[in-house]
Amino acid sequence: MEFMYLGTGASEGYPALFCQCERCSMAMELGGKNIRARTGALINSDFLLDFSPDMYMNKLRYKLDLGKVNHLIVTHSHTDHFAAAELMMRHEHWYCQLQESEKKLHIYGNETVEETMKSALRYDYGTDTIEDPFYEFHIIQPFMPFTLGEVTVTALPAHHKPDEHSFIYLLEQNNTRFLYGNDSGVSVMKPSIIYVISIWTLLVWIVIMG
C-alpha cells in the first residue's frame, strides 16, 4: 500500500491563517516541515482520504495527477475535511477533460457529507440533479467493509461531530493493516473497535491544534 500525507494540520492550518503569535510567525519563517496543510492523504495514487481546501496547492506542491483519483473517502462534513465546492471543478462544465476511462468520482461518506455535496451543486447549478453527473455517492455504515481495488476499507465510529456519523478508517491490503484516525479522542476506543483493530501494521492518530 502506498500512502502519502497531503496534510496533518487542524482546520486553521499551521501557521494558522490569520494568527500573529510567536509560534505561527516562527513556522512561517522556517517553512519546510513546519508548514502543515489541512488534513488528508493519497492512497495508491487513485483514492483520497478527505478533500481539504488545500487540495489545489497540494496538486502543485507534489505534482499530483488528481484526474487519476476515482475514489474519495470522507471522514465527516467539516470544511477542512470536505471542501465540496472544490469538487465542482471535476465537472466538464469547468473545463475539466479527463483521459481515464473511469471519469466518475465515487465518494464514500455519511448522509451529512452527501447533503453537503448536494448543497454545493445547488449553489453552482441551482439544482442538485444535473445531467451526466460527474460523481456517485455511496452511503457507508460502520463495521461494514467494502473494497476499492486491492484495498479493503472499514469505517469505524469516531467521537467528534455529534450531529452526524463521523468515521475513522481501517485500510487493509495484502498483509498491511493501516488505521487512519483524526478528529477523535481515546473515548472512541470501545471494545468492539479495539477488537477490529487489534492487529495493525501502522497506526496514525492525528489529535492536534494547528
The answer to whether 180 and 173 are in contact (CB under 8 A) is no
Neighbours of 109 (CB within 10 A): 27
- Does position 147 have pLDDT exceeding 90, yes or no? yes
* pLDDT for 198: 57
The answer to whether 86 and 52 are in contact (CB under 8 A) is no
* Overall number of domains in the chain: 1
Rounded to a whole number of angstroms, the CA Rg of the chain reads 17
- Residue 113: DSSP 8-state: H
pLDDT tens column, 163-200: 889 999 999 999 888 888 877 655 555 555 555 555 55
DSSP helix/strand/coil, 37 = coil
Which domain CATH number covers 184?
3.60.15.10
- Does position 91 have pLDDT exceeding 70, yes or no? yes
What residues have CB less than 8 Å from 114, skipping those under 6 apart?
107, 137, 139
How large is the average pLDDT for residues 128-147? Answer: 90
Percent of the chain whose predicted confidence (pLDDT) is above 90:
62
State which amino acid sits at residue 58.
N
Q: Provide the residue range defining the domain that includes 173.
A: 3-206
Q: How far apart are CA 40 and CA 19, in angstroms?
A: 22
Peptide bond into 15 cis (omega under 30): yes
pLDDT tens column, 48-70: 999 999 999 999 999 999 999 99
Cα dist. 15→22, 31, 80 in Å? 10, 9, 15
The answer to whether 51 and 105 are in contact (CB under 8 A) is no
